[in-house]
Structure 1
């Protein structure tokens, strides 16, 4: 991110649509009153698609929680992981739009937006998304942006399609919204789909052709309460940063990496990686890479460099254990006491319920490779659901990798769709099939 502007200071626009000026800017503490007023008024439109919570709707829109949201957005923006913006129409707060889970290594991010119902039918939400897309594919350099959309949210799906998003998959029980985990459609855009003049220009042009009447502005809102007091801001900030400290010692960031084994298959063990594994790791990775290249092409020099023994040493010494770490939870697969591959649980979502998985084994295992990979995958999935409390685990498999698909099917995973130009755990950008398994309904209900 060194060559890119700080995400905490980004402003997008202004752009004029139907006579109204639309601007995206960072959120402010002073936005709380208008944010709360609109969200309470539009509850019936927002809550069915919003993350579930034990709190009542009005309790979720206090000054304390808004301050926490602003602070979290700024921290994530400084780290380059999130671009949280307020949608402003003619100087008035009118919603929020953001890119989250920004990963410049894979060139990916996820998009979310909501807007005031009084401007929603005039293309404002679509324009806000278009501005984010132009910035994501432009200055940030993303290659793929996704949007999970509830099948019941027909208006949002229609707007996504009009922007050029393509529906790739239906993700089973992906998100806990409106009080229960529900399926969501995966919509995606890639850099190759950017219009010649950009998304914002294309959106404005198409809407100018649709309507000629100016956007009706809502009447000036009366104040519903005093501004957020300085003392309240300080107290909320103190609670927020104290919570971040406590978050570092939860089980998902535990420093104690488990050793997992199966009594029915005692030969296969998952354990912490060791420095002594370096030589076997490099040789096994080279064999695994060759197995994925049927044409016998040599791997690029960058891939070889990334799998040097020196790189292994640095990675193991610098690694922070736990699912919340940058690399996620990484365990070595051991068969009869010998290193035989690795499994990785990573990309934990913001609600600590979904994660991705990647398991690979040394092709030198021969006919036993699939059995070992199946056993290791079962151990990891069981640990993720039972010990870590996850509700969904997904993995990306290249279509030609039939062995990996067979393993996924054996452990109960289901193919949900195909993702275009996705960067898998091997580092290659290509089409990948999305496979996933979810925790049983009765188990998940006790965790939400």
Structure 2
């Protein structure tokens, strides 16, 4: 089965609704969109299970209880609906025997591509007996069968034994260990990267295998429900207005942050002085020789003695992490190395905590560049990205602000 085009995939994502019911160990599992009325149950479970969830939840300036207010749930629902509409995520809550018991989702770092990340959390009292395994399997079947994805990934904290075990039992392969990948529980933590391919699909599908492979379990605790429901219509309207206002302000702030005046360098090499500056409209024709097939959030032009030779960029900027890239018109390695040094210095100065590069296996030029930067090889990702119409394996190279600060000073000098 061929993968859907980007626009077709976005449309499919926006139309996804309920999955299930599927039954495992006499428990009915349904995946459905989140609703405002889930607020009380979500809040009760997250507060009760704090010790299990907080170490792996995104770091927040808010106290745990404030993070799980009714207003926060309404804001979450609004954000997830918006993200689904544009093809960023397929969000679900997990109902067990008709009661809210957790959340799961497929999320796209790059909208419209055939690779997505799976995430899941469950009520600790509902997690036994294969419920979590089945919910994840239902999501993977959706990814491969309905959305026609090529790859499903997952990222789990290296100290999160339960999540790593869940990835293994689903059939995922551990392909990389990423240093300081995500800011969770108050600090940046090391995470494992897992991959599942469409070709890995078992006969009958992942959900069928999950149900068939689960051993009979002792009766699990009933999922508790709270009598109080969701917020009033008035409260939802008030939260919605506040959310939309903050979203507009955030969009303006984002545009301002992504268009600063930048001038970096010069950095002296044999070919001349290497500098970086903002890209201009007049650069378009000169940059055709350095065409790139990505849409970066931050792009800087590379000059040698005032002559434009290429560009360097940061993209997929998320949670203080960014992918680095560079393209020139056949400039010598020393020029590319100098430009890379300047861009990385800039990225860390403006607040990045982790910079990473996916290198196509066999790309000697880019591999030498990331080694020059002092990046560490974290693993090899199977069929990670499409290149010229073919999905190829990529080596994952990265370093953090800490590793960068501790590396030896580069040989060439910057003034």
Q: Which TM-score applies when normalising by structure 2?
A: 0.88
Shift of 1:196: 2.7
* SS across alignment from 2:338: helix
Question: Residues 225-236 of structure 1 correspond to what in structure 2 (within 5 A)?
Answer: 225=228, 227-236=230-239
Shift of 1:284: 4.3
Q: Give CA deviations for 1:320-373 in whole Å, capped at 9, x if unaligned.
A: xxxxxx632122222223332221211122x3x11111112222x3xxx21111
Q: Is the 8 A contact 2:87 2:112 kept in 1?
A: no
Match of 1:372 among 335, 338, 351: 335
Q: Counterpart of 2:301?
A: 332
Bigger proportion of residues as strand: 2
Q: Counterpart of 1:25?
A: 32
Q: Counterpart of 1:343?
A: 312
What is the distance in 2 between the residues matched to 1:426 and 1:172?
A: 30
Match of 1:7 among 5, 14, 21: 14
Q: Give CA deviations for 1:297-324 in whole Å, capped at 9, x if unaligned.
A: xxxxxxxxx98xxxxxxx9xxxxxxxxx
Shift of 1:235: 1.7
What is the distance in 2 between the residues matched to 1:442 and 1:381?
A: 9
Question: Structure 1 residues 77 and 15 mapped into 2: Cα distance closer, same or farther (>3 Å)?
Answer: same
Q: Is the 8 A contact 1:133 1:199 kept in 2?
A: yes
Q: Is the 8 A contact 2:265 2:276 kept in 1?
A: no
1:115 and 2:122 matched: yes
Question: Structure 1 residues 419 and 442 mapped into 2: Cα distance closer, same or farther (>3 Å)?
Answer: closer
Q: Counterpart of 1:46?
A: 53
* Structure 2 stretches lacking a partner, 5+ long: 1-6, 406-415
Question: Structure 1 residues 26 and 181 mapped into 2: Cα distance closer, same or farther (>3 Å)?
Answer: same
1:381 and 2:344 matched: yes
Shift of 1:214: 6.6
Question: Structure 1 residues 435 and 131 mapped into 2: Cα distance closer, same or farther (>3 Å)?
Answer: same
Q: Is the 8 A contact 2:125 2:223 kept in 1?
A: no
Match of 2:265 among 262, 266, 275: 262
What is the distance in 1 between the residues matched to 2:260 and 2:66?
A: 38
Q: Is the 8 A contact 2:33 2:92 kept in 1?
A: yes
Q: Give CA deviations for 1:149-183 in whole Å, capped at 9, x if unaligned.
A: 11111111111111111001110000111111111
What is the distance in 2 between the residues matched to 1:280 and 1:122?
A: 61
Q: Counterpart of 1:272?
A: 278
Moved more, 180-189 or 371-380: 371-380
Question: Structure 1 residues 108 and 222 mapped into 2: Cα distance closer, same or farther (>3 Å)?
Answer: closer
1:395 and 2:399 matched: no
What is the distance in 1 between the residues matched to 2:362 and 2:327?
A: 15
Match of 1:127 among 134, 143, 158: 134
Question: Structure 1 residues 412 and 60 mapped into 2: Cα distance closer, same or farther (>3 Å)?
Answer: same
Shift of 1:104: 5.4
Shift of 1:278: 4.0
Match of 1:355 among 322, 325, 349: 322
Moved more, 152-161 or 191-200: 191-200
Match of 2:394 among 396, 407, 432: 432
- How many positions carry a matched residue from both structures? 395
Moved more, 136-145 or 11-20: 136-145
Question: Structure 1 residues 420 and 226 mapped into 2: Cα distance closer, same or farther (>3 Å)?
Answer: closer
What is the distance in 1 between the residues matched to 2:242 and 2:200?
A: 43
Q: Which TM-score applies when normalising by structure 1?
A: 0.82
Backbone CA RMSD of aligned residues: 2.5
Match of 1:100 among 107, 122, 147: 107
1:416 and 2:378 matched: yes
